[in-house]
Each structure stands twice: as structure tokens, then as C-alpha cells.
């Protein structure tokens, strides 16, 4: 029984959304189609690429990408064809444009603010240096020694 | 000392405003802005639903202001909006249909039982023409002006509210020009 379970687990393969009848015979075309598909958003299930999605529209788009490649279009032309119809939103990584500047610049801006803040914070620290602390008094040292000896610690 | 507090307040306000919009504000972030607005309708020729005589192509959409409705008999929201399409058709609005990936017999039965508001219907069996229109949900409805340019796109079923607040005012505006 155990062996059977292990065998079944070993036989399991990931399920791909892409159907055998969609795959192109031309290896180079197929590789290009896969690359393009990975960058295109499935509009029905918005956080998957069309390469990962089982939705009928994703399938239609995958077939469309392959058809256009077979017609002799370049990767950019295929992308443009789809962006013209569905807008930039269809691209999983947004293009660098005036309208997306905030999106692209935000991480850098926030990081700079953080670094600046940290810098200020560390500059202020030296005043609280160990060397500036007053040493323990005799009384305090005795208390400390007693505490360290006790069972609690 | 006041700066950290201000920072927290400002950031909370920004994120809070967004949350308010998509929550109680009712903003629907699942509808996408259409890339097709103000572009001419795509060039297409669609055959009629098997057994009918009409069919639809892009030249039909350049003869006057019209509505283009993408529907299928298997799509529940299409049934929901159907009475409103019938009403618009009765009021003299020209509606053209793109029947998306449907079985001819099912589409025929849908129209026989619920009424046919369409001037002409094209059958998009492969879904290719729908991609040219940038369609991703069903139903979708476009307003096309007399020169064949897409002026508005609505994703999802048409409701009383959509007719009163969007479709009618826009139709009036386009016809006047």
C-alpha cells in the first residue's frame, strides 16, 4: 500500500493549462509563444498569465498568439496586437510610461526616505554610547553579583 | 517629533481613501478601461447564426448610432439584461448582436423565447472577432456613433440604472451632434 502511494506520488506531474492540440510543431515558434504567453494577463482570472489559465478566453489568446507567430510576426508585433485591443492592463509587467511613472518610481522614493531616516537615526546614536554611561557603584555591583548567583538566573 | 505621526496619518489617509472607494464607495476594480474607446470598430465579417439570413459586418455599424451587444444563450447575465435590450429596441435604438461561441439551436431558442431585439446578428464561433473588440466578459455592450467609432463600453449586464445614467444620456448627446 505504502509503495503504491509512493509510486502514485512519483507519477504525479504538474497539470498544464496549455492543451496538446495548441502546441506548434515548430519548436522555435512554440518557445516564443510560451514566452509571450507568460507576459500576458488572463483577463478573466486577473492574476494568472494566459499560459497558466484554463479560462476559454486565455485559450483563445494562446491560439491567437501562435497564429500570429506563424503568420511571421515578431514578438513585439504580437504583443502590440493584443495591447491595442486590451490595453496595457493585459501586460503582467507594466510598461514604463508617463502614466506609470509613479508606479515605477515609488519603490525608489520609499527606499530613499527609509535610508535617509536610518542615516539620521544612527547619526544621533553616539550620544548614548556605552563609554558615556556612568559605571556601576560598589553597592550596585554587589546587588548584581548576588542576583547572578541566585537560582533565578 | 511630529513627523512620524504625520507620516502615519498621511499614509493611512491615502490607503484608506482607496479602500473606501473599492469598499463602501462601490468602485468596481474588476472592470478594465477599454483600449477601444474612440477607436473605429474593428474590421470584421461574421456569418449569421446557422439557419438565419442576416450576419453582421463592420459596414453595418457606420449607418447610424447603434448599440453592439455581445451575448450568448449560456450566459446568465445576458438573460438578466435581455428585457432592457427589448425595451431599448422598442424605443427605436438600433441594436446589433454578436453571438459568442453559441450553439445555433440554443441561440435560436433564446431569441424565440425571450424576443429578438437585434437588427442583425453575427455568430462569432471561434471567438476571434470578440478578441478584436477587446472583449473579456459577457455580456458587453458598446455604443458606436454614426461614423463607426466606439464611444462607450459597458461590461456586464445592462440595468435600469445603466440605461438611465449612461446609455440614454450618451445616445442623446451623440445623436445631437
The tens digit of pLDDT for each residue in B13-67 reads 999 988 887 777 666 666 666 678 888 999 999 999 998 899 999 999 998 899 9
ipTM over 0.85: no
- How far CA A74 is from CA of A18, A30, A69, A79, B97, in Å, comes to 22, 13, 7, 9, 34
Mean pLDDT of A21-49: 85
- Per residue, what are the HEC states of A76-104? HHHHHHHHHHHCHHHECCCCCCHHHHHHH
Tell the CATH superfamily of the B32-176 domain: Glutaredoxin (3.40.30.10)
- Look-up of cell digits 472607494: B21
pLDDT for A54 equals 84
Cβ under 8 Å to A: B residues 26-55 = 30, 32-36, 42
Domain regions of chain B by residue span: 32-176
The tens digit of pLDDT for each residue in A116-138 reads 999 988 887 666 666 667 788 88
- The answer to whether B108 and B54 have CB atoms below 8 angstroms apart is no
CA A129 to chain centroid, in Å, comes to 41
Chain A residues close to B134, C-beta within 8 Å? 85-87
Chain B residues close to A89, C-beta within 8 Å? 32-33
Which domains does chain A show, CATH number per domain? 2-90 (1.10.8.640), 98-149 (no CATH)
- Look-up of cell digits 510576426: A73
**Residue B77 CB neighbours (<10 A):** 14
Which pLDDT band holds residue A1 (cuts at 50, 70, 90)?
A: confident
Q: A92 and chain B: CB distance < 8 Å anywhere?
A: no
Which site among B1, B35, B138 would you substitute to test the A interface, given the most A Cβ atoms closer than 10 Å to its Cβ?
A: B35
The tens digit of pLDDT for each residue in A39-48 reads 898 888 777 8
pLDDT for B37 equals 83
Amino acid at each position: 500500500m505504502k509503495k503504491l502511494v509512493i509510486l502514485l506520488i512519483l507519477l504525479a506531474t504538474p497539470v498544464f493549462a496549455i492543451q496538446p492540440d495548441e502546441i506548434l510543431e515548430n519548436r522555435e515558434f512554440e518557445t516564443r509563444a510560451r514566452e509571450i504567453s507568460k507576459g500576458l494577463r488572463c483577463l478573466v482570472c486577473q492574476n494568472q498569465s494566459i499560459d497558466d489559465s484554463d479560462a476559454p478566453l486565455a485559450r483563445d489568446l494562446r491560439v491567437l498568439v501562435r497564429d500570429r507567430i506563424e503568420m511571421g510576426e515578431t514578438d513585439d508585433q504580437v504583443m502590440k496586437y493584443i495591447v491595442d485591443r486590451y490595453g496595457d492592463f493585459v501586460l503582467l509587467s507594466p510598461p514604463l510610461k508617463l502614466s506609470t511613472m509613479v508606479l515605477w518610481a515609488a519603490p525608489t522614493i520609499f527606499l530613499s526616505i527609509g535610508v535617509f531616516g536610518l542615516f539620521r537615526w544612527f547619526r544621533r546614536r553616539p550620544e548614548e554610547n556605552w563609554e558615556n554611561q556612568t559605571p556601576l557603584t560598589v553597592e550596585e555591583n554587589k546587588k548584581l553579583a548576588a542576583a547572578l548567583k541566585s537560582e533565578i538566573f | 517629533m511630529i513627523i512620524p505621526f504625520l507620516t502615519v496619518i498621511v499614509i493611512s489617509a491615502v490607503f484608506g481613501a482607496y479602500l473606501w472607494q473599492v469598499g463602501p464607495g462601490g468602485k468596481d476594480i474588476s472592470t478594465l478601461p477599454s483600449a477601444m474607446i474612440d477607436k473605429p470598430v474593428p474590421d470584421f465579417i461574421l456569418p449569421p447564426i446557422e439557419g438565419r439570413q442576416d450576419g453582421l459586418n463592420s459596414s453595418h455599424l457606420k449607418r447610424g448610432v447603434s448599440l453592439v451587444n455581445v451575448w450568448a444563450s449560456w450566459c446568465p447575465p445576458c438573460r438578466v439584461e435581455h428585457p432592457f435590450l427589448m425595451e431599448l429596441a422598442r424605443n427605436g435604438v438600433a441594436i446589433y448582436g454578436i453571438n459568442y461561441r453559441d450553439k445555433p439551436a440554443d441561440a435560436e431558442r433564446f431569441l424565440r423565447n425571450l424576443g429578438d431585439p437585434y437588427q442583425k446578428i453575427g455568430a462569432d464561433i471561434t471567438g476571434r472577432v470578440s478578441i478584436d473588440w477587446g472583449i473579456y466578459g459577457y455580456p458587453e455592450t458598446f455604443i458606436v456613433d454614426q461614423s463607426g467609432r466606439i464611444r462607450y463600453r459597458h461590461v456586464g449586464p445592462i440595468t435600469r440604472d445603466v440605461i438611465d445614467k449612461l446609455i440614454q444620456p450618451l445616445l442623446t448627446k451623440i445623436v445631437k451632434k
